[in-house]
Amino acid sequence: MRIDFVTLFPEMIQDAVRPSILGRAQSSGAVQFRTSSPRDFATDKHRTVDDTPYGGGPGMVMRVDVVADALRFLAPPENARIILTDPRGERFNQKAAEELANANHIIFLCGHYEGIDERVRVHLATDIFTIGDYVLTGGELPALVMCDAVVRLLPGVLGDEESHRDDSHSNDGLLGFPLYTRPADWEGHGVPEVLKQGDHGAIARWRRREQLRETRVRRPDLFARADLTADDIEVLS
Ligand SMILES: C[S@@+](CC[C@H](N)C(=O)[O-])C[C@H]1O[C@@H](n2cnc3c(N)ncnc32)[C@H](O)[C@@H]1O
Instruction: Domain 2-151: give its CATH code.
Output: 3.40.1280.10
Reduced to 3 states (helix: H, G, I; strand: E, B; else coil), residue 109 is strand
Residue 107, Cβ density class (10 Å: 0-12 exposed, 13-18 middle, ≥19 buried): buried
Known catalytic membership, residue 114: yes
Q: Which residue CA neighbors atom 8 of ligand 1 most closely?
A: 87
pLDDT bracket for residue 161 (50, 70, 90): low
Active site residue 165: no
- Give the right CATH number for 165-236 from 1.10.1270.20, 3.40.50.720, 1.20.1250.20, 1.25.40.10: 1.10.1270.20
From the CA of 36, how far away is ligand 1's center (Å)? 19
Q: Is the CB of 120 under 6 A from ligand 1?
A: no
Q: Cβ(221)–Cβ(169) under 8 Å?
A: no
Q: For the chain, where do the domains classified as CATH 1.10.1270.20 start and end?
A: 165-236
Question: What band does 20 get if pLDDT is binned at 50, 70 and 90?
Answer: very high
- Minimum-distance ligand 1 atom for the alpha carbon of 88: 9
> Does the pLDDT at position 163 exceed 90?
no
pLDDT digits (tens, 9 = 90+) for 2-14: 999 999 999 999 9
Q: Which residue in 180, 178, 169, 181 sits closest to 210, CA to CA?
A: 178
Where in the chain do CATH 3.40.1280.10 domains reside?
Answer: 2-151
38 lines ligand 1 (CB under 6 A): no
- Tell me the backbone φ, ψ of residue 106, rounded to 5 degrees: -120, 135
Of these residues, 167, 207, 213, 214, which one is catalytic?
167
**82 and 107 Cβ atoms separated by less than 8 Å:** yes
Q: What is the pTM of this model?
A: 0.95
CA 50 – CA 37 distance, rounded (Å):
13
What does the pLDDT look like over 181-214, one tens digit per residue?
999 999 999 999 999 999 999 999 999 999 999 9
How many Å from the N-terminal Cα to the C-terminal Cα in the chain? 44
Q: Is 47 a catalytic residue?
A: no
Mutate to test the pocket of ligand 1, among 9, 85, 133 (most ligand atoms within 8 A of CB): 85
- Residue 167 annotated to the active site: yes
Give the separation between CA 166 and CA 177, rounded to whole angstroms.
8
Which sign, positive or negative, has the C-alpha torsion 222, 228, 233, 235?
A: negative
pLDDT band, residue 166 (cuts 50/70/90): confident
The catalytic position among 98, 114, 210, 214 is 114
* Ligand 1 within 6 A of CB of 157: no
The pLDDT assigned to 159 comes to: 80
